[in-house]
Structure 1
């Protein structure tokens, strides 16, 4: 799963990677993004006339916590921050968004916790090895309440963890590669089955896992100090990884 993430890259880097024209207002660095908070997403831009210089994509802020359009009372509905990529196209909550409203979610990394019986959880900051930006695959839904008020909401798609992360957790966000941005966002030409191959575990060498302190556990801790590395006293041995099933063979679900 993905329950917290980070976006600290400069607006210029985000604009360049995603083909966005001028992020306004420029988003500040965010070191501990949590559910229900606003997150930046990237959607296809408006259809431009031939010869237009309009950017191919646009950015917007939405609530992290997906609300399907058929929900009657959000207070009685669970908070959906993730969607399993293996079943999103068939689940009632996500089916329409998977077909019509796929988005990209810029991130500088995400957090995960390794939990072992009898041990204190160890937090990790999982980031691109080159220090750049990645794009999570996401889903968008605009929820309208009975009074006519609208709120844009989103969820992050997840997939099986790759070998670099599987010893920490068995799931990770779907990461869409830049060459695949257009195909992922094109919901007119590409049905969910046409982009299923993009929802695979990221290459093993794309990300690195850095052990960090438990400061990240509190949403109020939102400064750069939460990313400082610590010694991972609970780093599992190869034998422990095999025993808990997170070694050589990865689970699919």
Structure 2
């Protein structure tokens, strides 16, 4: 899963990488948590006159997906992630997979290796970032929830997939990464149906991320400083994980 992440890149760099037209200044955020506002990128498939860039816009949405048919969000489970393998068949995510796919820019994400209770060992937090630096774009979904009084809340979730062999020793899931050359295809909900972008929802290459052990300060939402990314002493090496037999890249739609 993906339960915490960071976005520390400057707005100018993000504009250049994602081709966003209307991005205002924002502060570096080192500990983005569920229910907080997160930055997402959407596209309506049009183009500005004289521009080769698609009309991509940046929005702030609540991290915690709420389908439009939910009557009371307080009675609905907090959904910060959606499983890429089954999202198209889930009532919660089906409409968003077809009509409201987004990109979630991040500098990296946090994950916890949680040993068995029998071992008596503490959980270890990791800062997982692109090995070559820069920003990464996670596949996301967006939905606008409307209350009975007419007020609206934009909400979102990050799609996850099975972890590759470099992340699997830490956790069995990881965010779906959309590469720059696939941004337009992922965001194009007018001509690209979920089946057409199924090939994008797979684990990223084994060497794309590097995992750095960090302190447990990231566990507390109140801790928001850059010191969260500092390397910590690793008490015990991670256990090796056998590589899984690769599948055929097909997702379940049922």
Name the TM tier (shorter chain). Answer: over 0.9
Q: Normalised by the size of structure 1, how large is the TM-score?
A: 0.92
**After TM superposition, which residue ranges in structure 1, 4 or more long, deviate above 3 angstroms?**
48-55, 250-253
Structure 1 match to 2:30: 31
CA offsets, 1:98-145, max 9 Å, x none?
000000000000000001122100000000011110000000000001
Kept in 2, the 8 Å contact 1:119–1:234? The answer is no
Structure 2 match to 1:9: 9
Measured in 1, the distance between the counterparts of 2:48 and 2:162 equals 41
Kept in 2, the 8 Å contact 1:161–1:250? The answer is no
Q: 1:48 Cα deviation (Å)?
A: 3.7
Structure 1 match to 2:78: 79
Structure 2 match to 1:162: 164
Alignment of 1:1-253 (within 5 A): 1-24=1-24, 26-45=25-44, 47-48=46-47, 51=50, 56-117=55-116, 118-237=120-239, 241=240, 246-249=241-244
Kept in 2, the 8 Å contact 1:37–1:64? The answer is yes
Give the superposed CA RMSD. 1.8
SS at match of 2:159: strand
SS at match of 2:206: coil
CA, structure 1 residues 229+251, in 2 after alignment: closer, same or farther (shift >3 Å)?
farther
Q: 1:169 Cα deviation (Å)?
A: 0.2
SS at match of 1:41: strand
**Which runs of 5 or more structure 2 residues have no equivalent in the other structure?**
none
Q: 1:23 Cα deviation (Å)?
A: 1.5
Kept in 2, the 8 Å contact 1:41–1:59? The answer is yes
**Equivalent residues, number:** 245
SS at match of 1:47: strand
CA, structure 1 residues 201+52, in 2 after alignment: closer, same or farther (shift >3 Å)?
closer
Measured in 2, the distance between the counterparts of 1:116 and 1:53 equals 50
CA, structure 1 residues 72+251, in 2 after alignment: closer, same or farther (shift >3 Å)?
farther
CA, structure 1 residues 36+10, in 2 after alignment: closer, same or farther (shift >3 Å)?
same
SS at match of 1:167: coil
Q: 1:249 Cα deviation (Å)?
A: 2.5
CA, structure 1 residues 149+250, in 2 after alignment: closer, same or farther (shift >3 Å)?
farther
Kept in 1, the 8 Å contact 2:22–2:58? The answer is no
Kept in 1, the 8 Å contact 2:46–2:54? The answer is no
Q: Normalised by the size of structure 2, how large is the TM-score?
A: 0.92
